């Protein structure tokens, strides 16, 4: 049986310490990158059972012992290493943070972490003695370790005071850290929300700072009261803004808050529909569609009914001279909604729905963007297969009708694509690829 990461912890710890002391150029950096990959792998594994401890010859909590040795080694490398080394250490924990590690799960749970104070002390020393870049790196580490750093008064003070310093790099890192702390602490989130209100409303705040503040709103969801207050403030700031960069950032943050709490979804739904109108900028229309897919990705119920949503998206796709980017995002949203709801759409309504889909796909096959054309074909092929696989489609007699419609549509498109290429040896690889994709739908 292959040794699990927990069973390899002792070897990894010894090897890391050896490599970090090496005089070979680049050896320490390679070691940090390797331990980063190993920790990511370990973080995905379930906790070892007693039987597994016995099987690998480990004494109780041996894996925890060497995990803490590895983490202390990384903290020492951050404390004593050059800036490149510090950046590598931060990158390890940033990657794990981005992969959605939760406080009570994985190798970074409180149960596994025993040297919390030692880790924070080493990083605090770098913050106190370092330059702007080193302080920013320290703040990002505090953010990555928010699940235990939130209980340290010194860290809270450092993060909050850094929000009002003059250096953009440090302030942006502080917003990241404050957002992470807000995900784990209600009382910290209350204070942070008031600071966000002041920052975004201030005429003296730079654009970079306002954008960082806007992104931080997405972290204010740990309790419904915090989420509701943050949502209301963010909504007001969004509606008062005339800047697309800030508006797009806030729209994404509000969608992320709403995705955490079902009660906020109806309001967010209506907000997103406001930004899908033609009088909005292309960027805001595309952002609203992407936010809609974000809600769907979290499997959040959409209100009002999905039928009205589908109708609205079809309306966007039927606009004349639709921008390729907006066209693609609209089809992606339609595809996501239909995938979720095809199992409950009455079989008698599906042929009519596909007639509308045929029009959309036909229009996209005229696009100058190859990826849009291929995606349209894939959508039609996938949805056709899923619908025709429904037993009630055939028992109700709609299956044959839909199959005939799909086959007729595909044959028409194959003929229209192939005919101009006769005598031209099918030199256009992109068109040839589309022909093959369409033919796959037939079989």
Q: Per-residue confidence of the chain (443 residues) as pLDDT tens digits?
A: 567 888 888 999 999 999 999 989 999 999 999 999 999 988 887 776 666 667 767 777 788 889 999 999 999 999 999 999 999 999 999 998 886 545 446 677 767 777 889 999 999 999 999 999 999 999 999 999 998 899 899 999 999 999 988 789 999 999 999 999 999 999 999 999 999 999 998 888 889 999 999 999 999 999 999 999 999 999 999 999 989 999 999 999 999 999 999 899 889 988 998 998 888 999 999 999 999 888 887 655 554 445 677 788 888 887 766 788 888 999 999 998 888 877 777 777 888 888 889 888 888 888 888 888 888 888 988 888 887 777 776 665 666 777 777 777 777 766 665 555 454 554 455 555 555 555 554 44
Which residues lie closer than 8 Å to 275 by C-beta, 6 or more apart? Answer: 251, 284, 285, 287, 288
Residues 275 and 380 in one domain: no
**Are 365 and 431 in the same domain?**
yes
At residue 113, the pLDDT reads 74
Q: Give the residue among 166, 221, 169 at the shortest CA–CA distance from 192.
A: 221
CB contact at 8 A, 10 and 62: yes
Same domain, 248 and 356: no
pLDDT at 37: 94
- Distant-in-sequence, close-in-space partners of 118: CB < 8 Å, separation ≥ 6: 72, 75
Question: Domain check: are 291 and 210 in the same one?
Answer: yes
Asked if residue 300 is part of any domain, the answer here is yes
| Residue 316 burial (10 A CB sphere; 0-12, 13-18, 19+) | buried
Q: For residue 52, what pLDDT is reported?
A: 65
Does a structural domain hold residue 159?
no
* Rounded-to-integer distance, Cα 366 and Cα 320, Å: 13
Domain that holds residue 431: 350-443
* Residue 56: inside a domain: no
Residue 423, in any domain of the structure = yes
User: d(Cα 109, Cα 43) in Å, to the nearest integer?
Assistant: 10
Strands (E), 166-246: none
Establish if 292 belongs to a structural domain.
yes
Can you tell me the distance from the alpha carbon of 379 to that of 373, in angstroms, rounded to the nearest whole number?
10
Q: Which of 271, 306, 341 is the last residue of a domain?
A: 306
Residue with tokens 């959309």: 360
Q: Identify whether 160 is part of a domain.
A: no
Strands (E), 121-258: none
Q: What are phi and psi of 380, to 5 degrees?
A: -60, -45
What is the domain count for the chain? 2
- This prediction's pTM: 0.82
What is the rounded CA–CA span in Å between residue 247 and residue 243? 6
Retrieve residue 46's tokens.
Answer: 């379930």
**Looking at residue 303, what is its pLDDT?**
45
Say whether both 220 and 302 belong to one domain.
Answer: yes
Is residue 298 domain-shared with residue 384, that is, in the same domain?
no
CA-based R_g, the chain, Å: 27
User: Which pLDDT does position 17 carry in this prediction?
Assistant: 94
Do both 439 and 362 map to the same domain? Answer: yes
């Amino acid at each position: 049986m292959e040794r699990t990461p927990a069973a390899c912890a002792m070897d990894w710890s010894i090897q890391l310490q050896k490599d970090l002391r090496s005089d070979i150029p680049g050896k320490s950096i390679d070691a940090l990158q390797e331990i980063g990959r190993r920790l990511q792998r370990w973080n995905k594994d379930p906790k070892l059972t007693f039987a597994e401890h016995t099987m690998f010859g480990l004494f109780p909590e041996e894996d925890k012992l060497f995990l803490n040795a590895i983490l202390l080694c990384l903290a020492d490398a951050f404390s004593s290493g050059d800036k490149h080394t510090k950046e590598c250490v931060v990158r390890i924990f940033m990657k794990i943070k981005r992969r959605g590690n939760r406080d009570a799960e994985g190798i970074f749970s409180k149960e596994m972490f025993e040297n919390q104070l030692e880790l924070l002390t080493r990083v605090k020393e770098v913050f106190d003695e370092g330059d702007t870049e080193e302080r920013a790196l320290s703040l990002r580490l505090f953010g990555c370790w928010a699940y235990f750093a939130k209980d340290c008064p010194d860290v809270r003070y450092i993060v909050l005071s850094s929000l009002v310093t003059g250096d953009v790099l440090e302030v942006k890192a502080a917003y990241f850290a404050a957002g992470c702390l807000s995900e784990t602490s209600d009382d910290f989130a209350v204070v942070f929300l008031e600071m966000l209100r002041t920052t975004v409303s201030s005429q003296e705040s730079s654009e970079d700072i306002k954008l960082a503040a806007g992104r931080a709103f997405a972290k204010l969801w740990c309790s419904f009261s915090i989420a509701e207050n943050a949502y209301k403030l963010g909504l007001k700031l969004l509606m008062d803004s005339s800047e697309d960069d800030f508006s797009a950032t806030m729209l994404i943050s509000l969608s992320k808050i709403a995705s955490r709490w079902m009660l906020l979804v109806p309001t967010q739904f209506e907000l997103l529909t406001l930004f899908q109108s033609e009088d909005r900028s292309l960027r805001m229309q595309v952002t609203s569609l992407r936010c809609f897919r974000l809600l769907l990705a979290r499997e959040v119920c959409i209100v009002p009914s999905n039928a009205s949503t589908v109708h609205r998206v079809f309306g966007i796709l039927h606009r004349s001279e639709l921008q390729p980017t907006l066209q693609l995002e609209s089809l992606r949203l339609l595809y996501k909604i239909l995938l979720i709801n095809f199992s409950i759409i009455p079989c008698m309504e599906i042929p009519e729905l596909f007639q509308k889909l045929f029009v959309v796909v036909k229009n996209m096959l005229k696009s100058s963007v190859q990826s849009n054309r291929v995606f349209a074909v894939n959508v039609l092929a996938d949805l056709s297969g899923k619908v025709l696989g429904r037993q009630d489609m055939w028992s109700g007699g709609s299956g044959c009708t839909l199959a005939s419609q799909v086959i007729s549509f595909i044959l028409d498109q194959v003929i229209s694509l192939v005919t101009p290429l006769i005598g031209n040896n099918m030199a256009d690889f992109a068109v040839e690829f589309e022909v093959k994709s369409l033919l796959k739908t037939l079989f």
